[in-house]
Structure 1
């Protein structure tokens, strides 16, 4: 046995040497002082039950047992045991606090109205709205089998309007609309509010304030007396372009106050009707990279062109710090029209397999989207290989239906 083991006699001797404490006050005096103590009054009014998490209680009991045994059998380890107990209690408390926080977060998420609608986080959004796996980012006629196309113009933190082309399974459309074919306004009213824009890399913008209605082949947007669409020329531009990229199948949109009078925007005066072009914007496409590093192909709707040759020449040059050209340095082409088909002939043979795959995809799809804004097919010439990424360059390539493909799952 250890020589340091303390005997019961020695412990009794140490305890007998502890000075005794005497209180000379009377019982009445002590009771009166207790009644006047405001701390006791607070406790009486507001009882607080201190709940000790099971993990903390068990850890404390085990540590206390070890400490007592260590103190009796080995007084030199008492100080170390005390320190260990403090660390254990602190860690257990932190663990209990973390578990409580996680439980609260789960309860909040489960009780959130947004979660009941199916989306309330970037993770849930990614499982519902996902990118296609291919390097190609546009939507083509063959992609629409078993899907309904939902167009929407999203607004980035840089105030750039990015068109998204969302493919919604037809089975979902049938469940929510029956046999009726939904209009672009129907699709917007049904799905726009469900998109968590920040999770997708965009500013919070949709749904629009006010109320949209149809009148024959045109839309009417009735705006409330207070809105942010006319704060500046930039906000007006984002508003107009997002509407242009969202509502297909209508000839124009009118802007009205709630009483039916023509809307007045501080920056421009009376807000005149805007023509809607259903994707035929007669504009060039460029590469835009948002603040999260995500890349999109977007049209420059601030510039429309009279013919495709002008648009194809324009797209060779970057338009701003945000709109970069998809045409790599050293690549050039000529454009000619033959029987309604645009022939794009590269001045030097273009070998797509010798290029970065993403750069090559942006080039081909930028050309196709620009031509598609005029409603034209494209015949590529002086390009190899003739079959690449699903494209057959031996014949005209059909125009895409829209840019920046997402699939609703």
Structure 2
């Protein structure tokens, strides 16, 4: 506010010049009015008014306050839930990985324990076990159709019939699912020999399933090739569909004939299906230049579920080959346990030796004189075929 420009003297002089004012009221009345105004207000009125105002204010603000509190509570709860879910997902993911790894390790331990409990038995077929029977080998896909597993049987000899007639007749008796493998046989095809005896004709119906996907096509071609090359000396396969030349395969295309190639130089590994008491001995997909490279590969696991077959076997120090005989020596102070796992490792070694044209194996410094039914002080013949199984 602007400061007044009037002095006290000037204000006093001005008031004196103003007209006089006379109050005509009775002095008694004036006193009475002053007394009424000076009466004290009752003590309960102001607190009551204050309480009422506070109550009204609280009622007005309560919804907003409650809404704000509720929102804050939900937000915190959602954040807590979201954080808990994220943590749970991370924990779950880590647990699954750890659990899967733990299960795989536990499965391997269980399989090894089962091998140690199993009586020492040979799983391959040897010449002295065949007698007058005929050995047939069927190549069966594993459950994931990633690898082919050879399964062999000893069939009674049927005179007057070709090998392929007996071979195809027994396909329906295979127990693939019982063995933990894919149900593949019997083939949806007929197989017969041409008159020259060197060519197999494979005839499929027009609605065959072997062209439905690259895996089905590849397995069909590979299995037919392996079945024929393993069980005969035939050199060629001719395909027909309902008697007409050729077979249509979606990815490979049209095939009329293929050569039967000799397939050797593989290394043998363990493959254990679920709930299997004994593993299968399975050749590798890869081939190797020599027996030493193959034996070195057998010390480690491979793709497709193939496990090392020499992991618990003594270290091989030296290998030499002469006149289809393989001589091997173990490292100094090596130990060899007489159990089922060691026996299977030795059979894997024998089957691998056969892949390289070896017919007999001789160990120069074996820690044991006998391993199951094998006399390790003598030369040992390689097997005729792997994975002997009985069928009805």
Cα contact 2:236–2:259 (8 A) shared by 1: yes
Max Rg structure:
2
- Whether 1:191 and 2:170 are equivalent positions in the alignment is yes
How many residue pairs end up in the alignment?
265
Name the residue aligned to 1:150: 136
Question: TM-score, normalization: structure 1?
Answer: 0.58
Q: Aligned equivalents of 1:156 and 1:163: distance in 2?
A: 10
Name 1:283's counterpart in structure 2.
266
Preserved contact between residue 319 and residue 327 of structure 2 (Cα < 8 Å): yes
Q: Kindly state the Cα deviation for residue 190 of structure 1 after the two structures are TM-superposed.
A: 1.7
Q: Classify 1:381/1:270 alpha carbon distance in 2 versus 1 (closer, same or farther; 3 Å).
A: farther
Pairwise CA distance, 1:321: 4.8
Q: Does the CA-based 8 Å contact 1:341-1:379 persist in structure 2?
A: yes
CA distance in 2, matches of 1:263, 1:227: 10
Aligned partner of 1:218 in structure 2 is: 199
Q: Distance in 2 between matches of 1:236 and 1:332?
A: 41
* Correspondence for 1:360: 342
* Counterparts of residues 320-339 of structure 1 (less than 5 Å): 320-328=303-311, 331-333=314-316, 334-339=318-323
Aligned: 1:165 with 2:144:
no
Q: Does residue 267 in structure 1 map to residue 251 in structure 2?
A: yes
Over residues 181-216 of structure 1, what are the superposed CA-to-partner deviations in whole Å (9 max), with x where a residue is unaligned? 641x12222211123432333222111112212122
Query: Partners of 2:370 and 2:344 in 1: how far apart?
Result: 17
Question: What are structure 1's unaligned runs of at least 5 residues?
Answer: 1-131
Equivalent in the alignment of 1:312: 295
* Structure-2 change in CA distance of 1:273 and 1:349 (3 Å): farther
- Contact 1:375–1:399 (CA under 8 A) maintained in structure 2: no
Paired residue for 2:126, among 121, 140, 144?
A: 140
Q: Residue 134 of structure 1: CA displacement?
A: 4.9
Long gaps (5+) in structure 2: 1-117
Say if 1:332 and 1:348, in contact at 8 Å, map to a contact too. Answer: no
In structure 2, distance between residues paired with 1:351 and 1:283: 27
CA–CA distance in 2 between the matches of 1:381 and 1:162? Answer: 32
**Counterparts of 1:383 and 1:282, CA distance in 2:** 26
Q: Which residue of 1 aligns with 2:365?
A: 382
Could you say what the CA RMSD is over the residues aligned between the two structures, in angstroms? Answer: 2.6
CA-to-aligned-CA distance 1:289-339 (integer Å, 9 cap, x gap): 113335211112x32234333322322222115111101157432322223
| Residue of structure 2 equivalent to 1:34 | none
TM-score calculated relative to the size of structure 2? 0.61
